[in-house]
Structure 1
Amino acid sequence: MTKRLWELLALHWSGEISTEEKTELDKLLLEHPGDWLRTGQLEQLSFKKIPAAEEDAHTDALIDKVMGTVTAEPSLTGKSSRKKFLHAYKYQLSVAIAMLGITAMLTFVYLYRQHPGYKIVSTDAGMKTKIRLSDGSIIWLNAGSTLRYPEKLDKAKREVYLSGEAYFDIKQAPNRPFIIHAQKMDIRVLGTAFNVRSYKDEDFEETAVISGAVEVTATDERKVMKVMPNQKVILRKTINDHTGTNNSIAGSGNKEQTKIERQPLSVLSSTDTIHVMETAWMNNQLIFRNESLLALSLRLERWYGVKINIENQQLATLRFSGRADNISIEKLLEVLQNIQPFNYSIQDDIVTIK
């Protein structure tokens, strides 16, 4: 990313950018849409699905406008050429169009797919999306997550399946419980707001209640817990070997077990006791406290859309605390280097820490 692009982005974020500078920024972002992803700022955009029938009309209009900005070559005019242009540059166009504010409605076809009787929505790294169910409930899906839900909600109960992280704001419906199935826990509610985190590559799952109350069932332990506002339940995966010692690495004859913890929600600071860490991602805030480099790297992969390899396993145990809003992966790694020394390199969106 060029120094000039950083300068223009800084002016844009501060609200001090001029009309001429905004035009220059638009041009740079259109030419290099990947740079926007690497800054981690794509999450700040608002996406809205549009009906498939309207997609072609929107796409043609967007291509015409973007093509007018990108090039004026006669070879790119006409319907046939527009289709070839879309096929070759669909992803780059989508990102550029969103950044330029050409439209507030952008269809990510790959995020949405059908399953017999169900709809499935997935979010890629660096993205999140909002889903409104037929009963009026709203779900915010974090990066690297998948939600499967029925096309028509059952009259007796409402059930969805989550892999990843999501914030649920569930409409009250007496005698119609809402149930979320995660890896090792089921969450049952009648109507409330809460956050569920259940990534397959993490060694824990948690349910954090913002308002109302939920009933969490640890499926392996057959244990049912009621969780009240400003509380969370954490299910940690542990390996119990033949000596009775809990370890994090499975071996021959070792059995995976689940350790259950109850904790209060983590407020951001003594001066901000309203907002909590568990839902900071919804405000595009990357906050970490006493987190190992290994655990943090998994979050950074989803946040920035990169792959992180830690070659020195001793470095994987280093712990970090901090907050990183609106900065690139390169800048964040520089900051982490000042906390704990390590070396890194970045090539083709692959970060190597050694």
Structure 2
Amino acid sequence: MKTDEFIKILEKYSVGQATEEEKTLVEAYFDEKKAESPILNVGVEGYKNRLYRKIESSIAQDAKAKPKSSYFKQWAIAASVALALGLFLFSRYEPNPQFNLVETTLGQKQEIQLPDGTVVMLNSGSSIRYPQQFNGDFREVALTGEAFFDVARDTLKPFIVETGEVRTRVLGTSFNINAFAESDSISVSVATGKVMVANHRLMKEILLPNEQLHYHKVTEAYRKATDKSVIDKAWTENTIHLNYKTLNEAVEVLERWFDISIEIQSAALDRKRIVGKYHDPHLETILESLSFLLNIEFTEKSPSNYIVVPKK
């Protein structure tokens, strides 16, 4: 079945107008997706987001050939379909009570020991869901946000981390995953051992120590780099690395780390790139440093709320 035909059926399903045959088709599709991963309860959001991007991409291909008002109408329909399907999936696949969910707030980090002895350091604004016991042939967890894993070795039970679009599989190793929902990208960096990273299509890459894979959720493009693992795991040692980040990327890091809000009031500022490393960081010290390096000014509008503008 063509994608546009399936989208039409999804739209009918979301508003209760699908035939019995169409209902069966939609529910069978998501039952199949759930069967692919016994812990897909956390992957529901990932599948919803992936579907939403496919719908948006499909519409965008026809945008030039249609009036602007028609494009936005279809975009709105796609949004409502994706939202309705998200609600459907949540109600149909309600989280299993045998799974534990650990969440960190902004400004908080937490170390967790999983049932197999694996140690996970969970970064600010992140969550991980894992079973109370690793039964079956795999040790599977699901992550939103960022975490550093030191995986207990078990050659008979591979350890798998689901992050919606990307699946990371290991036997026993240590690695960092950055997969925040609001970000367009996912990165996996290996400190020790060997890691296999794959998506739902054709990507399948092996990473060795000090290698990183950077994956773009929308385009599904990816690239490998070296000498990144030290930088990517620095947060576990209470160090902020802002090397070669744009100002917007740096702001996202600071907002999660310090539980603050920063508004950039000039789009031109985001073209500026930063090189900086801050151990045992203090917010005021970092803001002063960035102000000097980028010739910008931070102003606190209210407690924990800042604006940034070019210096006059």
Verify same fold: TM over 0.5.
Answer: yes
Equivalent position of 1:183 in the other structure: 164
Q: Does 1:350 align with 2:312?
A: no
- For the structure 1 residues 165 and 327, does the alpha-carbon distance in structure 2 shift closer, same or farther, using more than 3 Å as the test? closer
**CA positional deviation for 1:203:** 2.5
* Unpaired stretches in structure 1, ≥5 consecutive residues: 1-113, 238-255, 268-275
In structure 1, how many angstroms separate the alpha carbons of the residues matched to 2:280 and 2:155?
42
Equivalent position of 1:328 in the other structure: 282
Deviations 1:38-73 (A, max 9, x none): xxxxxxxxxxxxxxxxxxxxxxxxxxxxxxxxxxxx
In structure 1, how many angstroms separate the alpha carbons of the residues matched to 2:113 and 2:213?
26
Q: 2:212 aligns with which of 232, 256, 273?
A: 232
In structure 1, how many angstroms separate the alpha carbons of the residues matched to 2:128 and 2:120?
9
- Return the letter of the residue paired with 1:158: R
Q: 2:247 aligns with which of 280, 293, 314?
A: 293
Equivalent position of 1:135 in the other structure: 116
- For the structure 1 residues 327 and 159, does the alpha-carbon distance in structure 2 shift closer, same or farther, using more than 3 Å as the test? closer
In structure 2, how many angstroms separate the alpha carbons of the residues matched to 1:188 and 1:327?
33
Equivalent position of 1:305 in the other structure: 259
In structure 2, how many angstroms separate the alpha carbons of the residues matched to 1:282 and 1:327?
13
**CA positional deviation for 1:316:** 2.2
| More moved, 291-300 vs 201-210 | 201-210
**CA positional deviation for 1:336:** 0.8
- Return the letter of the residue paired with 2:202: R
In structure 2, how many angstroms separate the alpha carbons of the residues matched to 1:162 and 1:341?
37
**CA positional deviation for 1:348:** 1.5
Q: Does 1:164 align with 2:145?
A: yes
- Return the letter of the residue paired with 1:293: L
- Summarize the alignment of residues 68-217 of structure 1 with structure 2, pairs less than 5 Å apart: 116-217=97-198
Deviations 1:174-221 (A, max 9, x none): 2211110013210011111111111122232111111111111022x3
In structure 2, how many angstroms separate the alpha carbons of the residues matched to 1:324 and 1:125?
18
How many residues align structurally? 214
- Return the letter of the residue paired with 1:280: A
Instruction: Report the secondary structure of 2:134's partner residue.
Output: coil
In structure 2, how many angstroms separate the alpha carbons of the residues matched to 1:194 and 1:328?
26
Instruction: Report the secondary structure of 2:295's partner residue.
Output: coil
In structure 2, how many angstroms separate the alpha carbons of the residues matched to 1:334 and 1:341?
10
Identity among equivalent positions (%) equals 29
Deviations 1:276-298 (A, max 9, x none): 11111111001111210001000
In structure 2, how many angstroms separate the alpha carbons of the residues matched to 1:148 and 1:201?
19
8 Å Cα contact 2:291/2:298 also seen in 1:
no
In structure 2, how many angstroms separate the alpha carbons of the residues matched to 1:307 and 1:116?
35
8 Å Cα contact 2:189/2:213 also seen in 1:
yes
In structure 2, how many angstroms separate the alpha carbons of the residues matched to 1:155 and 1:290?
43
- TM-score, reference length from structure 2: 0.65
Would you identify which runs of 4 or more consecutive aligned residues in structure 1 move more than 6 Å?
A: none
8 Å Cα contact 2:298/2:307 also seen in 1:
yes
8 Å Cα contact 1:265/1:278 also seen in 2:
no
* Unpaired stretches in structure 2, ≥5 consecutive residues: 1-94
- Return the letter of the residue paired with 2:226: P
**CA positional deviation for 1:226:** 1.1
RMSD over equivalenced CA pairs, Å: 1.6
**CA positional deviation for 1:155:** 2.8
Deviations 1:138-195 (A, max 9, x none): 1111111100111221231111000111111111112211110013210011111111
- For the structure 1 residues 340 and 132, does the alpha-carbon distance in structure 2 shift closer, same or farther, using more than 3 Å as the test? same
Deviations 1:296-325 (A, max 9, x none): 000000111101111211112221111122
In structure 1, how many angstroms separate the alpha carbons of the residues matched to 2:281 and 2:169?
37
Instruction: Report the secondary structure of 1:289's partner residue.
Output: coil
Equivalent position of 1:259 in the other structure: 221
- For the structure 1 residues 282 and 327, does the alpha-carbon distance in structure 2 shift closer, same or farther, using more than 3 Å as the test? closer
**CA positional deviation for 1:115:** 5.6
- For the structure 1 residues 115 and 332, does the alpha-carbon distance in structure 2 shift closer, same or farther, using more than 3 Å as the test? farther
In structure 2, how many angstroms separate the alpha carbons of the residues matched to 1:327 and 1:225?
35
